[in-house]
A and B are shown apart, each in its own frame.
Chain A
Amino acid sequence: MSLDSRSAAPVQPAAHPKPSPLGSFLKLRELPVILALVVLVAVTAAVNPLFLSQQGIKDLLLNATILMILAVGQTLVIITRNIDLSVGSILGLVAFGTGSVFVAAPELPIILVFLIGIAFGAVLGAVNGLLITIAKVPALVITLGTLYIFRGINNAWAGGTQYFAGERPDAFGNLSVDTVLGFPVITLIAVVVVAVVAVYMLGTRPGRDLYAIGSEPEAAKLFGIPVARRVLLAFVVNGALAGLAGILYASRFNSVGATTGTGLELDVVAAAVVGGVAIFGGSGTVVGAAIGALLLTTITSALTALRVDKFWQQAIVGILILAAVVIDRLAGARAARKLRIAEARNV
């Protein structure tokens, strides 16, 4: 006797043997955001050719890099039907930490600084994940709490101190200046991150488990998935990626201090939602989220390049989010109908 589709847990067994309809379905979800991006870029470039100049493209990619990495991490968490609002604060802490490390030990190899930053982020993510999985309390509340706490620690630690680009090695700052095949180095790092996580999500057991958990946690548990461990994993990875984003922030921008990364959390969630990640878990891809991030940051640049009144920018972002939710809803309704028919036959 199932009251509704959610307790039917058919997604589980059905998802594994039949990847092809699922695959095309996911493509459909990313299609609108890709189309929006293409149209936006085309229109802007037609009006202001400088938009797609070498410097223009480089700036577009650089602007998207940090949000892209954050959106990928956030997607992992959202897919498990959780949310992490503390990413802006984690980014801030790691960015300031990176600045401090370079001041304290200027000779440290850059790769080591990356490892330290990522580990630091992962630890902060683990704090979130452990609180959520052990105490079994809602992620929204916990990460709202750690949003405040991490930011508070950042303020207490940094005070009025800010570290400037000049206090970091040139080689580190050049990561966001130098290009390889036209792509800035930090953007390539982001692309690699997206690719690795995307493969992991679709090609490995733990990755698939995250979707299962998000679709129906109880069923996932009955199915034998270590739910708590997987959710913890999602938070740790998200923290690590926020840490990576923090390091890249320190590479790209001039100053890191007490307020670095404030207010980023909603942009990140917005990027994921625009990229077709369902806010209540179980569907969406990291590639979609990354494109969502690219779209949001491109809008900002496009409006300036078009000399459109910048005041419209935020309103347009809002409309985009709403559009994404509606599209997601329509796609979801179609999928649910299919699912119910299949389920009815099984019964």
Chain B
Amino acid sequence: MTSREKILAAVQANQPDLTALPDLSGFDGQAFGSLAQFAEVLTAVGGKIFHVANYAAIIKIILAQYGSGVRIVTQLEELKKLTRDNLESLSQIHDLHDVEVAIIAARFGVAENGAVWITEEEMQHRVVPFIAQHLAVIIHEDAIVPTMHQAYDRIANTTYNFGTFIAGPSKTADIEQSLVIGAHGPRSMTVFVLKNS
């Protein structure tokens, strides 16, 4: 008997009678939902938020914050002038070790926790939003859902190889519960909320 068969047989023998799954439709997120709340929570978890009218405004803010001398990576056509990298033709992901800023489009944000949902498609390489010293994310102002329930309604059966919710900069409180921003991932997270044109 393989371990697989052993485990499955033991589970089958020991598990209790089938119980029903709960109905989740009551979690309608009515107490949550606004962009203002998203901004408030994101700020509380250490993120920064800018409401911008267009990509030109984003470029201006990025350059003002980080200058033009640092390595910036992005997949976004509209921001191509900020980067000298072509992530698609990168030979070795480890070459990303000195990226200062990564700018990535997110699918949507979640009001209750300030998180944004990003999949590998937007990242090009999975490590990008983690290895950069600073992360910038762009979402559309109408792409805010109230809670994680609506977040998964929105994700539904979409396909992705890798996807992640990111809520603020990397952080730790492992040393005496003192909050330190910038553990292993980005030291800052900026979210640009793009107004509908």
Q: Do A and B come from one complex?
A: no
